[in-house]
A and B are shown apart, each in its own frame.
Chain A
Amino acid sequence: QSALTQPASVSGSRGQSITISCIGSSSDVGVHKYVSWYQQHPGKAPKLMIYEVTNRPSGVSNRFSGSNYGNTASLTISGLLPEDEADYYCSSYTSTNTWVFGGGTKLTVL
């Protein structure tokens, strides 16, 4: 299985919105609703931000939202805040009952 494809970096100004894409295949993103997104600050463990494409765990800001279309999932962060600056990873459950992560996207808040 190949890693999901994410842009290496994105940036946005405080208060703006950004979207991070996650391109998979018909064996993962395109076949399941089981896409998730994780936020990771430097030196910290990843934190689940979105699951099942669009759902937020309790405690996650509603500024974070997810969507997908075909083999591509997306994470949108609205009203950017300085604390949103982090690495973001998408992940998908696959048709062979395993997991795959994306290459990660570094978000810079200007």
Chain B
Amino acid sequence: QITLRESGPTLVKPTQTLTLTCTLSGFPVSSSGVGVGWIRQPPGKALEWLALIYWDDDERYSPSLKSRLTITKDTSKNRVVLTMTNMDPVDTATYFCARSQDVSGYFLPYFDSWGQGTLVTVSS
């Protein structure tokens, strides 16, 4: 069974750095064709794609947030970590991690499995 679970602080102060972890189960992050991405959703608002890392360490970032984001993977612990610097109240959102999986070399840039999300509030 494929599961993703987000973890991290529920409250951060403005200007602080947020570190979120996505722990994977049921598939290895190092498996060919696997990508793990982060998507956020402010309360009552739309989804916003943030970043994704592929099995081969290829990293992709939202152009508007690229300067603040870093995505890494830890193969030994089968998890993906997102850091976001200089947090602001507008960054208050539920943060989801999700899987993208190519099949038999066929490119499938879609998110077929999602974590339940973790709400991060930015407030002093």
Contact = CB atoms under 8 A, between A and B. Distances in A.
Nearest to A98: B60
A99 B63 contact: no
B96 A101 contact: no
Contacts of A38: 47, 111
Interface in A43-96: 44-48, 51-52, 57, 89, 91, 93, 96
A45 B115 CA distance: 7
Contacts of A104: 45-47
A38 B100 CA distance: 14
A34 B37 CA distance: 16
B49 A101 contact: yes
A102 B110 CA distance: 14
Nearest to A37: B110
Nearest to A101: B47
A31 interface: no
Pick the most buried of B45, B62, B110, B111: most chain A CB atoms within 10 A of its CB: B110
A45 B116 contact: yes
A99 to B, nearest CB: 4
A98 B46 contact: no
A45 B63 contact: no
Given A101-B48, A101-B49, A48 B61 contact: no
Nearest to B100: A99
Contacts of A96: 63
Given A1-B63, A45-B96, A46-B96, A98 B49 contact: yes
B12 interface: no
